[in-house]
Structure formats: structure tokens, C-alpha cells
Amino acid sequence: MSASTPKLSLNDDRLFPAEPPARKVARGIYRSVRDLPIISPHGHVPPQWLADDTPFADPTTLLLTPDHYINRLLHANGVDLEHLGVAQGELGEDAARAAFRTFCDHWPDFAGTAMSYWMREQLVGIFGVTVRPSAETADRIYDRIAGQLAEPEFQPRALLDTFGIRFLATTDDPCDDLAVHDRIDREVAITTRVAPTFRPDRYLEPGRPDWPELTRALGDAAGVDTSTLAGFTEAMEIRRRYFKDHGAVSSDHSHADLGTLFLDAAEGERIYALAQRGEASADECLALRRHLFTDQARMACEDGLTMTAHPAVARNHDPDAFARFGADVGADIPLGVEATRGLQPLLAAFGNHPNFTLVLFTIDETVYSRELGPLAGWYRAVHVGVPWWFLDAPDAILRFKSAVTEMAGFSRLSGMIDDTRAFFSIPARHDMSRRLDAAHLARLVVEHRLDEDEALDIAHRLVVEQPAKVFHL
Amino acid sequence: MSASTPKLSLNDDRLFPAEPPARKVARGIYRSVRDLPIISPHGHVPPQWLADDTPFADPTTLLLTPDHYINRLLHANGVDLEHLGVAQGELGEDAARAAFRTFCDHWPDFAGTAMSYWMREQLVGIFGVTVRPSAETADRIYDRIAGQLAEPEFQPRALLDTFGIRFLATTDDPCDDLAVHDRIDREVAITTRVAPTFRPDRYLEPGRPDWPELTRALGDAAGVDTSTLAGFTEAMEIRRRYFKDHGAVSSDHSHADLGTLFLDAAEGERIYALAQRGEASADECLALRRHLFTDQARMACEDGLTMTAHPAVARNHDPDAFARFGADVGADIPLGVEATRGLQPLLAAFGNHPNFTLVLFTIDETVYSRELGPLAGWYRAVHVGVPWWFLDAPDAILRFKSAVTEMAGFSRLSGMIDDTRAFFSIPARHDMSRRLDAAHLARLVVEHRLDEDEALDIAHRLVVEQPAKVFHL
Amino acid sequence: MSASTPKLSLNDDRLFPAEPPARKVARGIYRSVRDLPIISPHGHVPPQWLADDTPFADPTTLLLTPDHYINRLLHANGVDLEHLGVAQGELGEDAARAAFRTFCDHWPDFAGTAMSYWMREQLVGIFGVTVRPSAETADRIYDRIAGQLAEPEFQPRALLDTFGIRFLATTDDPCDDLAVHDRIDREVAITTRVAPTFRPDRYLEPGRPDWPELTRALGDAAGVDTSTLAGFTEAMEIRRRYFKDHGAVSSDHSHADLGTLFLDAAEGERIYALAQRGEASADECLALRRHLFTDQARMACEDGLTMTAHPAVARNHDPDAFARFGADVGADIPLGVEATRGLQPLLAAFGNHPNFTLVLFTIDETVYSRELGPLAGWYRAVHVGVPWWFLDAPDAILRFKSAVTEMAGFSRLSGMIDDTRAFFSIPARHDMSRRLDAAHLARLVVEHRLDEDEALDIAHRLVVEQPAKVFHL
């Protein structure tokens, strides 16, 4: 390694405002929450990792292959996803090393992005890397990480402790028997509470070719005949309760819009029957999906699972990538979303129900000040989820705070949700969140819109009380 | 009160940029406009208060019950509006005190919001409160305010002087005989000019069940038969002129969109006749409303009343709250709005008319840079109204300035509009506006995009010349 | 000139953050790119100026008449476009002087705008003016500029060198024989590469009354019978290749939306034939236009011309101004735009084609973080164009950077595009861009999200490598 190899390090003041009085206040606020445990009420870590506690395979499989934030920008810059191991099964050592080198070589394409921020946190903070990724340094970094992954303290369970994760939610299919979660629960060495999340999206989309089959699978899982809507509804209720009984605190929903409505029983059964035969029109499928989504809110009032909504993504926008690599590889693109009119039927029915909590996420930031803040500032059930996916980056997070908190305050926020499948990035994401909380609150303090002790209270509230309240922990 | 009771105070530099050179410039700009009289060309203060000059009842009835900004966030946090006195008639002493205590107890839910900013201004600046609201301090604060409200200098007229309000517009029904305004006019002790505002919304919505009845009332007020559109139009013209003769400077309009069009006379009469019988379709009602709105612009070219538009609110979003408490209690939610295409017919006809002024407000901030700024930067009639309602908070106001002034400059802005029914918050809202003018201009100065003397001129222009020009004062 | 006449000057630190550490970093970054040559891959300078190299007529004809940014705000403030020389043929000396005086008198209406920023740059930086424009100083400034315009070093070709313009693209009709460009090419005294740009908008709009005639003209230019869609397509291919052979690097497209689709050959011919006879419906015209636009992308994959899209402007919004002054005089207003669904058919077909580059511009800034950034962060062809038109101002440019680069990085940006017809403003616009690059990058550095050497690399990349890559220079 030459003397001029650029260094990689973490500055204690990262993400804080540059202006000295605000930076000083930010430091104090951050210090007060820095070491609090992590609560992660929604995410995509595979529970199998924790149940099996097998060492992670290699740096590429761990840090690059599953991270569609990284994949997508590499793809845009000409890298084949195959080369990164996406949908390729196990990578051999050579392939893994080559992929890692490619990433390091493309490091400048990530400069200034959230991905480079999180990766730096992991490289320096977890693996002790001290040189900037590049074609020259790639192998050295790879070797360092690979060596550490073989150590016991880098096995999944040990890291749960090291990372200070007190609560971790996974995302699961309604038909899942949750046996893996049961194994984790029975494992006394795991002190983290690992909860499943009920994610019924596919079962609520009557327009899918495989929907009739999915409804039968749901019926089998619930022990109920789902050939009618009434049966389907009962099966959903049974499976939700099964999840609740196995520790779930929320259900998660991602459809193309936030439209809600109630079909009367006859009309619902009529469309359901058509859809079972693949004969429902697109409009009928849409109406039934909206009804089924709205009905999940009714169920939530009864069973108390918090409902999180992640709407309006054009999934699998690139059909060639979808054909080659399947879903969730990075070719999803945001859509505009509308909440005020779309959610009105649902909120008119359940918006102030004492047992209902609805967390609204968006990747269309125009609705923050226009719709989500105002809705959460009135309806008792509604909370605004923190910035998600394409908005999960420092400036976007500060825009979110600015757009929502001036009118809705901090009591209507979800608290931090990392929503990640990149296990090693969880501490970095929560730390970024706490730093930006501090940066935002410090600005309010130096502009004399908030007293410093109030800022400290809010910082704590965002990390501890809000997630506990919103997810009934 | 214990020694550790948190204090409440007002820092002289509040809302100014923290960075020292910018803060210094901001102070100078602010000082130059701080003490100028308040011009309030659009708002919702009841004129009866000024005509009768009776002392205000109690702190709750004055500061909380009528303020739907405060009501809504308390509602979201579990407080019943009944408990706050909404739609309850007169509150007794115990109920008023209990409601005030509830608010104080929820003070942390308001931390960092515009509502806490304005309330702090009123508590410290007007009532001399020095302790932060909390369950512990609630009674003490209540007593202090209640005691002051009994003093003559806290009666409405005295406060008009204390607050330095030179012009105050109320909002009034087209059928109002304006007798209350006449009483105010004749009262030599009132030096503030108190003007009515013509607000014909309900009369322009043929889809309302009570619309036929409203048109008859309008006809009665105008002394014209309104069974035809021609008669309705004449009645509107008469009532507008009546308002103008009684000091009105503007009409105000709030519909669900900004669509405009011209119906030819025959089609207009046809739909009007159908609507009178409750037989017009939804599309016909919409077309007629858009025609009637557009026709108000034609009238404005003739009578010179400035036209203000506050579009795109989903009113009474929560039907249960509407049933229990009626309109305007906080369950209104913004909608997206479109101006470029919607207003084109109106602007093609009247957009450069020398006698026409149109002030466009929005609670959908996406149209600032995309539509409102560009429209105001071309059409002579069009001015951009300052941030309204859910956007009337420091960061949102600065976003507005940033989005509009780089291309449209400052000559196309309305100047400050407080639009409030919270009488005691008027000085706070205008002071906030002047501070943010200073903060924004100071940034332009330190970035060398504006000279300091230009900034001083603009600050004065925004407080004095722009409202005078836009509202023909 | 009195002693109190306000001065006009340029501060070295203009547009940099006020906060000292960030300002220091910004200075260093800016210094590293300040003197690099200008690459202007899209704009509207008339090539005739460069071919003829005749001196510019007078200050008004040069600086005001063709600048619709200035025209529009003067119009809003009551000035007739006639008076500014718009669509009036040659202005006499008196009229030119009077128009210039009017502009100077309205200088305060421009305070704080991008227009005043660029004008100050030109007045001070190019013409050495030292007093602020006003009624009092207008003649003096006019005389100074007029005197200089008569000097050889202010002739167009000399200025190409003075301004350091290495590459300059004009905008041209597909039927243009490019003889003027040939003359420029043959002129050894011109070292700047002056390239035509293929702008076929009008030919792709079958709904235009003059469209059949335009298709015939295109056929004549290409030597192909365009009475069928197949012929039209061949003609387009021929003309694109003609442009490419004459140095063009891109085609430019501005339609009311970004809708794309493929018509099969029979349906395409059917609608084409109807449209030739003026008998196609509005929906058919729209479908055919979207097909023709999409087909330009197919051609781009073959001939390698970069495709730039400037969508969603409501052209000629003010029919009276259009009747009196024609198109492009300032009465164009932005529309909302949608890219995710609209472009999906085009991107599914060509989005990752190795020979295709698509640069997306917008004047609806809501799509930056929601659609353009995410699209450019996946598709290899897609790059995000820098802020355009109503968004081409300092704060808007910083909002753009903030919205796009955190997720898409800097490798997916077009680099600076000035898109101007105001020749003398080209250096000011590129300098503004470099200053804002520096301001943005400096903030990332002081927030420790980027190392200083990385910031220097990115600044260089944005000025040199990105335009070279995106426009294949």
C-alpha cells in the first residue's frame, strides 16, 4: 500500500451542522442518545441467520449481493448483476473477490451518497478498515473482512449483542409457520426479541395470476376453506392472530396506491368469485384489493397489530432484469401517491379507533407537508413513518423533518425504521438517524424555537418512546 | 413553583440564522421593519368583538377553543374537542381551567411547532408569563392571563392599538348587512380600518343541498330575483358593490380545485335551472361552479375587489368530527392542486387586466416553483400569496421564499397575510413573518446575491408597499 | 453621477456558504475548476452570429430583447413587450435606449433573482460597469456597453475565445441544410466546435394544423416520400444521420408529457394516414406522437445521438401575447410531469442499450427525488439533466443536487447545460454552476460525508468528464 493511499476514517462530528454553535448543541444531543439500544420494528433480515448462527460466507455475499441500493447504482454504471452474485446461488472465492474489486473500483460513483456513508461506517466502524476502497486496496480490504467473518464475534448472534439490538422485526409470509422464530425464541442465548411481521401483499392482489393458488395456500395454513370471501377473511384473521401469538407487532402493506373502500358483502363475494376464476376485470380486481386492504385495518382494530403502509412503487420496472434476476433487485421506481382522498374511507371508519395504529411511509416526498403531516396531526391512529428507501439519506431525512414536524410535532412520528436487509448496516442507519435528529433539533435550538432540554427530551422520545408507543412494545 | 420549573422567554434573535455574519445582517433588516404597523388584509377575527369591545371571557375561550391548529394536534394526541370547549357554548370556570390544564400538560407535543412558537410569543410577550406550560404551572398561568383579561387594556379595541394594527379585514357572508362594520366605522375611538371581505363560496357551489335556498337568500339581500343565472349574476354584482361601498377590498374563494371556464349564456341558464331543482349532475354542478368562480374574476375587473383564492382543501375529512362539532374544527386535509391548466381560461381573459388582482394561495407547496411563481412572473394580475395554513411555519415559509423569489422576485408577492381567527396571535404571526423576511434576505446578502440596502428596501416593501398595492389600500 | 450612486461589483465569494469553514472549502473547490473551458452541449445561440461575426447591434437588442426571463418579469410589472423590442424588427437608437432605461428603472423588481445575478455578472464582468442600474444610471451604462460593442474584441468570434467556449451546440430544424454550420466549420479562425442539434418536435406532433405540410418538407429535405409512416421514419433517420454527419451530438425533444409507446406497423400507418388528412382524433394524435417520440429513441440506439428531453411546458399560455408576439416570449408555464410510468415502455426497450443516452430535464422539481434520480440510478442510458428554465437559479440548483445526488451520486448527472439564447450570459451561467457545485460539495465535506480530494474530483467530473461522456464528445 503506497503512502499516498487515501485513508478512510470516521469523524466524530459527521452529519452535524458545520456552524459552531449548532454543532456544539448537536454534539450534546447526540451524546445523550448515542448508546441507547436499537429498536428495529420493521426490516428484512432473514431470521434463519439468527436461528442457525452460522458465520457469514464472504464480504461480497454479506455486503454487496443482497444490497439493492448498491446493486442498482453499479448496474447503472455498467456492472452486470450476475457479476455481483445476484440470483447466482453461492459465489466461489474468486467470483466473490472479483465482485468486491469491482465495487471498490466503482467507489467514486458512490461518493457523496448514503450508500458510501453506510459502507464507510461498516468498513471503519465494524471491520477496522483504514484505507479507501479502490482497485488497489480491494483485495486488502476483502481479506481483512473475510478474516474477521471467520471469528466467533462476527457470527450473527454475537453481533446482535455488539450492535445493541433489543428488538428486531423480520418480514414474513402469512403462511409461514414461524418455526424459525420459535427456534430463536427458545434460544436463551438470544436476548434480542426477534418478532415476525405479517406481510400479506400478494394475497390481497386478485389481479395476480397466482392469486387463486395463494388463497388456497392461505386456506391450508389457516385450516379454513377460502373459496369465498368470507372464508378468506376468516383465514386472514386466523393467520394474523397466529402471527400475533408468535410475537408479531405489525402487519406491512405495499400496494401501488393508497386507495381504500368497503365493498358490501354481496359485491365482495361476487368479485371474489370472479377473481378466483381469473375472470374479474382490472377495475374489479382493484376494487377488491382496496377492500381487502381496508379490511386489514378493521382486523387491526381487533387484534391490535400496527399497520404499516409502504405504497406506490412501480415494481420490476425493467422487465429484462426481472426475467433474469427476479423481484427486489433494484429496478423498482417510485410513483406519485395520494393519501388524502385515498385513505378517507378507511380513516373515516377507523382513524380514531383506540386500538388502531397506522404508520404511513412514502417515497413521494411531496405528501409530507401536504398530506401525511396533516393526517397524522388529526387522526389518532395515523403516524408518519420516517423516510424510506430512496429518501433514506441525510438531506432527504432533514427535508422530511422540516416538512412534518413544524405542524405535526414529534409525537406523530414512528421513530426510526431501518427497513433494511443489510444486517451490518443496521447500526450505521440508526446512528445516522440519531445524528440527524441531533442536527435538526440543534438548529431549532440555535434558532430559539426549542429549548435545549426540550431537544434532549425529543431526541430520547424518537429513539425510545415513539417506537414503543407506535409498535406497542 | 419549584426552582427547577423551566422558564419561558423570548430570545431577541429567534428565527435568525445561527451563522454570525448572517445573523448580524438579519438583525439590522429586522430592526428596520419591526415596529411598522400591521396590515392584515385577510383574516377571521369576528367583527363583533371590536364593535362590542367586551372583555374576553377566559384564557381557554380566547386562546384554545377557536384555534384549530391547537385543537387538531390535541385531538391527535387523544384529547376530546368537547373538553376544549369546541361547539359547547360557554365554558364554565372549572371546564375552562381544566381545558387549559390539559393543553399545558400536552405542551411537549407542541415542542418545535409553529403553534408553540406563537403561543410562547403570546404568553411571554403579551401576558408576561415566565414559566413553561405544564400540568404544574397551568393554574398559575391561567390565573395570570385571566387577571389581565379583566383589565381595560386587554379589551379588543385597546389591543388593536397595542398591537399596532392599522388595517384589519374580516371574512363575511355576501348576505351580511355589515351593520357591525358600520358600527365600527362610526366609532371614532377605533383608528384601525376594519374592512369586510366578500366570501361567496357557498353560493358558488350548486352541488350543495342548501344551494337553492342560498341563492334565494342572496336574491333577497340584493333585491333581485335569482331564479335565473342572469338574476344570480346581477345579485352577486350588487352584493359585491355593497361590500365595496362598505369598505371591502377583496373577495375570497376556497373551492376544491382551481378549474375555470366560461359557459355560454344558454348552457349556463340550463344548468342553473337544473341545479335550482336539485337535478344537475355532479359534472354539471362542477362546470357551473367553475363558471361562477370565473365570473367573479370578470366582476373583479369591473369593481376592483382583489380576488384571493385558497383552493384544494378536503373539508370535513372526518365525518364523525363533522357530525359532532361542525365545520372548521381541524379535520380539513390538503389536496394536491393544479393551476397552470385550471386557471388558463380565466387568465387568458383577465390575467393582464389593469383593474384585476388575483392572489393565489396554496397548501400544496409543489406548485410554488412549478406554477404559482411562473404565473405571477408573467400575468400582471397574479400575485403569490404567502404560505397558508399547514405551510405557515418557519421552515415552510423559507421554502416558499426560496421557491418563488429567485425567478419571480419580490414584486409579485402578496405581502404578509395572517389568515387567523386567533386575535392574540396576530402580532406574533406578523413578527414571525418579518423575522423570516430578515433571515431570508440576510442569507442572500451574505451570499452576495443582494446588496444590504436592497435587502432593507425589500423588507420594507414586503410589509408596506406590497399589501398596499395588492389590496389597493 | 452623484457620490451616493450605488455601486455594482462582484464579490469573490458569491454563492458560497456564509459559514467560514464551508466557505473556505468552497473557495478551494471553485478555484480548481474556475478556469476550465466551457462545454455547452445544449443551447439556443443563433449560429448565424458566429458565421457572420458582425458586431452586436446595441445593448437592448443584445441583452434584453431576446431574454424571455427578463421580458416576462418586466411584462408582469406592466412593461409592454413591444417597448422591449420583442417581435418589432430592428430597434432604432432611441427605442433601444428607452427600453434599456425601462429595464434599469425596474432593476429593483429583479433584486434577488437569477436574472439580476446574471446581469450583474455581465455588466461588471464583461462590460466593466460599476454603478447599479437605475433610471439615473441607465444612459451611462447604455453608452458604455454600446461603445464596447463596437470594438473588435466584442464581436462574436472573439468572445467565443474570451469566454473560453470549447464546444457550443445550437438548436436546429431537421430540414435545415446546416450550411451555416458548414461555414463555421470551414472558418479556421473559429477554434470552438459549434455543433447543430436535431430538434424535431414539430414533426412529431400530428395534432398540429401544419403537420402534414411539415412532413412533406421533411420528405423533401430527406429525398423520401413521407406519405406513409414508413417513409416518414426513413426520412427522420436520414435527417438525423445528416445532422450527425455535420457534427451533431444530440437530438432535443419537448412535448407536453413523457408518455411513450409502440404502435404496431399497421396501427401506426392507419393513424399516420388519418393524421395526414387531418382526420385523426386527439387520442390518435397523442398515441402517434408518443410512438414517434419513442421511435426517436430507437434511432438513437442506432446513430448514437444523445437524446435530451425537456417535457411538460404549457406553451403560449397567454393567447393574446401569442397573437401579438408569437412563441417563446415568456408566456410559457410549467406543468406537472410523470416519468416512471410514462417512460417505462421506452426504457424497457432501450434503457440499458449500450449506444443510447437519454438526458431527462424537468421544470417540475417533484420528480427529482421521486422519479428522475431513481431512474438514472438504475438505467444505464438515463442521466439527470441539470436544473432547467424556471429552476435554473441558485437555491433551486442546490435543491436539485440535494434531491438527486444522495442516491444517484454524481455519475448520473449531465453536467452543466446552459440552454440559453443569451450569449453574453453563458460565462455567468457556467460560473454560477461551478460556484454552486463548490458550495454543495463543500457542505458535504464539512459534514464529513465526502473527503476534500473526492470533492475536487467530483467538481472536475461535473465540468469535464460528465458532459464528455453524456454527449460523446
Summarize pLDDT for A133-184 with one digit per residue, the tens. 999 999 999 999 999 999 999 999 999 999 999 999 999 999 999 999 999 9
B194/B65 Cα distance (integer angstroms): 24
pLDDT band per the 50, 70, 90 thresholds, residue A330: confident
Q: Average pLDDT, stretch B369-394?
A: 98
The grid coordinates of residue B120 equal 410562547
Is the pLDDT at B1 greater than 60? The verdict is no
Interface partners of A (3+ CB pairs, < 8 Å)? B, C
User: Which of C123, C138, C154 corresponds to the end of one domain?
Assistant: C154
The three grid cell numbers given for residue B28, joined into one nine-digit string = 439590522
Q: Where are the alpha helices (DSSP H) in B53-92?
A: 59-63, 68-76
Task: Look at residue C181 and give its three-state secondary structure.
Answer: helix
In a domain, C32, yes or no: no
Interface test with B, best of C132, C317, C368, C435 (most B CBs within 10 A): C317
d(CA C65, CA C57): 11
Q: SS3 helix, strand, coil % of chain B, rounded to 5?
A: 55, 5, 40
E runs forming strands in B105-237: 165-169, 193-195
8 A C-beta contact, residue C304 and residue C355: yes
Name the band, by pLDDT with cuts 50, 70 and 90, for residue B367.
very high
Please give the Cα distance from C285 to C255 (Å, whole number). 13
Percent of chain A beyond pLDDT 90? 97
Surface of A (303-342) touching B: CB under 8 A: 338, 340-341
Which bin fits A413, alpha (ψ -120 to 50), beta or left (φ > 0)? beta
Task: Say yes or no: A266 and A400 in one domain.
Answer: yes
Same domain, C136 and C241: no
A88 at interface of B, judged by CB pairs closer than 8 A: no
Pick the residue from chain C with its C-alpha nearest to B399. Answer: C395
Helices (H), C257-318: 265-276, 282-303
Please state, for a pLDDT cut of 70, what percent of chain B lies above it. Answer: 99
pLDDT digits (tens, 9 = 90+) for B83-130: 999 999 899 999 999 999 999 999 999 999 999 999 999 999 999 999
Residues of A in contact with C407 (CB under 8 A): 69, 73, 113-114, 390, 393
Name the residue facing A407 among B113, B132, B320 (closest C-beta).
Answer: B113
Q: What is the pLDDT of residues A382-398, one digit of tens each?
A: 999 999 999 999 999 99
Q: Is C10 on the interface with A (CB under 8 A)?
A: no
**Structural domain boundaries enclosing B93:** 55-153
Closest residue of chain C to A106, computed from CA coordinates: C411
Is A366 part of the contact surface with chain C (CB cutoff 8 Å)? yes
* Min Cα–Cα distance to chain A from B143, Å: 24
C454 assigned to some structural domain: yes
Distance CA A82, CA A88 (A): 7
Answer whether C76 touches B (CB < 8 Å): yes
The grid cell for A160 is 446482535
Q: Do A144 and A241 share a structural domain? A: no
Q: Which of C92, C121, C154 is the last residue of a domain?
A: C154
Q: Which residue of C has its CA nearest to A331?
A: C378
Does residue B149 share a domain with residue B248? no
Q: Do A79 and A168 share a domain, yes or no?
A: no
Which CATH number covers residue A96?
A: 1.10.2020.10
- The answer to whether residue A7 sits within a structural domain is no
**For an interface test with C, which of A257, A313, A391, A395 has the most C Cβ atoms less than 10 Å from its Cβ?**
A395
Give B391 to chain A, closest Cα distance, Å.
Answer: 7
Contacts of A112 in chain C (CB under 8 A): 405-406, 409-410, 441, 444, 449-450, 454, 458
pLDDT of C233 above 60: yes
CA angle C454/C455/C458 to nearest 5° reads: 90
Helix %, strand %, coil % of chain C (to 5): 55, 5, 40
Distance CA(A291)–CA(A297), nearest Å, equals: 10
Question: What cell does B273 get?
Answer: 335551472
Does residue B374 lie in a domain region? yes
Average pLDDT of the segment spanning A247-274: 98
B206: confidence class by pLDDT, cuts 50, 70, 90:
very high
- What part of B 387-406 touches C (C-beta under 8 Å)? 402-403, 405-406
Task: Residue B450: name the closest of C9, C388, C34, C141 by CA.
Answer: C9
Question: What confidence category does residue A1 fall into, taking pLDDT thresholds of 50, 70 and 90?
Answer: low
CA A445 to chain CA centroid, nearest Å:
30
Q: Looking at chain C, which subunits does it touch, using at least 3 CB pairs closer than 8 Å as the criterion?
A: A, B
Interval B150-186: pLDDT, tens: 999 999 999 999 999 999 999 999 999 999 999 999 9
CA distance A12 to chain C (A): 9
Q: Can you count the helices (H) and strands (E) in chain C?
A: 22, 9
The rounded distance, in Å, linking the Cα atoms of C180 and C174 is: 14
Residue B384 region by backbone torsions, left for phi larger than 0, else alpha for psi between -120 and 50, else beta: beta
Name which of B112, B331, B336 is nearest A444 (Cβ-Cβ): B112
Q: How far, CA to CA in Å, does B271 sit from each of B44, B292, C117?
A: 33, 12, 52
Longest dimension (CA), chain A: 76
Do both C410 and C337 map to the same domain?
yes
In a domain, B112, yes or no: yes
- The residue type of B357 is T
Is the same domain home to C305 and C387? yes
Mean pLDDT of A278-283: 98
CB distance A288 to A280 below 8 Å: yes
Q: Is the ipTM of this complex over 0.95?
A: yes
pLDDT of residue C461: 98
Instruction: Write the residue in B340, B377, B380 that is nearest to C314 by C-beta.
Output: B340
| Range A347-370 burial, b when 16+ CB lie within 10 A, else e | bbbbbbbeebbbbbbbbbbbbbbb
Where are the extended beta strands (E) located within A100-253? Answer: 165-169, 193-195, 250-253
Span B282-337, pLDDT tens digits: 999 999 999 999 999 999 999 999 999 999 999 999 999 999 999 888 799 999 99
Q: CB-CB: which of A6, A109, A395 is closest to C411? A: A109
- C-beta separation of B36 from B161 below 8 A: no
Euclidean distance between CA atoms A30 and A437, whole angstroms: 8
Instruction: Classify residue A336 by its DSSP letter.
Output: -
A169-222, pLDDT tens digit by residue?
999 999 999 999 999 999 988 999 999 999 999 999 999 999 999 999 999 999
**What's the mean per-residue pLDDT of chain B?**
97
Q: Is the pLDDT of residue C148 over 90?
A: yes
Judged against a pLDDT cut of 70, whether residue C228 lies above it is answered with yes
Could you tell me if residue A17 is inside a domain? no
Gap from C235 CA to chain B (nearest CA, Å) = 35
Whole-number Å distance between alpha carbons of C125 and C137: 18
Q: What are the DSSP calls for B319-344, one per residue? A: HHHHHHH-SSSS--EE-----TTTTH
Kindly state whether residue C451 falls inside one of the protein's structural domains: yes
Nearest to B14 among A344, A347, A447 (CB): A447
pLDDT of residue A306: 98
- Model confidence at B209: pLDDT above 90: yes
Q: How far C380 CA lies from chain A's nearest CA (Å)?
A: 4
Q: Considering only residues 413 to 472 of chain A, which have any Cβ-Cβ distance to chain B shorter than 8 Å?
A: 441, 443-444, 446-451, 453-454, 457-458
Nearest CA in chain A to C348: A318
Taking only the tens place, the pLDDT of each residue in C81-139 is 999 999 998 999 999 999 999 999 999 999 999 999 999 999 999 999 999 999 999 99
What are the tens digits of pLDDT across the range C277-335?
A: 999 999 999 999 999 999 999 999 999 999 999 999 999 999 999 999 998 887 999 99
Give chain B positions within 8 Å (CB) of A441. 112
Residue B72 is nearest to which of A378, A403, A458, comparing CB atoms? A378
CATH number at residue B218: 3.20.20.140
Structural domain total, chain C:
2
Give burial (CB, 10 Å; 0-12/13-18/19+) of C453. Answer: exposed
Distances from the Cα of B45 to the Cα of B157, B242, B316, B416, angstroms: 12, 21, 21, 16
Nearest to B76 by CA among A301, A401, A462, A410: A410
Among all residues of chain C, which has the CA nearest to that of A71? Answer: C378
- A 10 A CB-CB count for A202 gives 14
Chain C residues in contact with A76 by the CB 8 A cut-off are: 376-380, 382, 408, 411-412
Q: What backbone torsions phi and psi does residue C291 show, to the nearest 5 degrees?
A: -60, -45
Q: Which residues contact C90 (CB under 8 A, 6 or more apart)?
A: C57, C61
Interface of B with A in 131-160 (CB under 8 A): 132
- Reported as a single tens digit per residue, the pLDDT across A220-245 is 999 999 999 999 999 999 999 999 99
Instruction: Say if residue A421 is in the same domain as residue A289.
Output: yes
* Closest approach of B316 to chain C, Cα-based (Å): 27
In the numeric block, which cell numbers belong to residue A175? 403462511
- Residue ranges of alpha helices (H) inside B68-134 are 68-76, 93-105, 107-110, 114-120
Tell me, what's the pLDDT at C48?
A: 96
Helix axis angle for B452-460 and B426-446, nearest 10°, is 160
Q: Which residues in chain A are contacts of C408 at CB distance < 8 A?
A: 73, 76, 113
Whether residue C3 is predicted with pLDDT greater than 90 in this model: the reply is no
B101 domain-assigned:
yes
* A275 shares a domain with A135: no
**Residue of C390, C402, C431, C446 to mutate, testing the B interface (most B Cβ within 10 Å of its Cβ):** C390
Quote the mean pLDDT of chain C: 97
Contact B374 C334 (CB under 8 A): yes
Predicted pLDDT at C4 = 82
Same domain, A143 and A167: no
Inter-chain residue contact B371 with C333, CB threshold 8 Å = yes
User: What is the average pLDDT score of chain A?
Assistant: 97
Contact B407 C393 (CB under 8 A): yes
Same domain, B84 and B171: no
Q: Of the residues A154, A176, A197, which one is the last residue of a structural domain? A: A154
Instruction: Say whether both A114 and A228 belong to one domain.
Output: no
Residue pair C359/C414 in contact (Cβ under 8 Å)? The answer is yes
Whether C1 shows a pLDDT value over 60: the answer reads: no
C-alpha cell at C295: 421511435
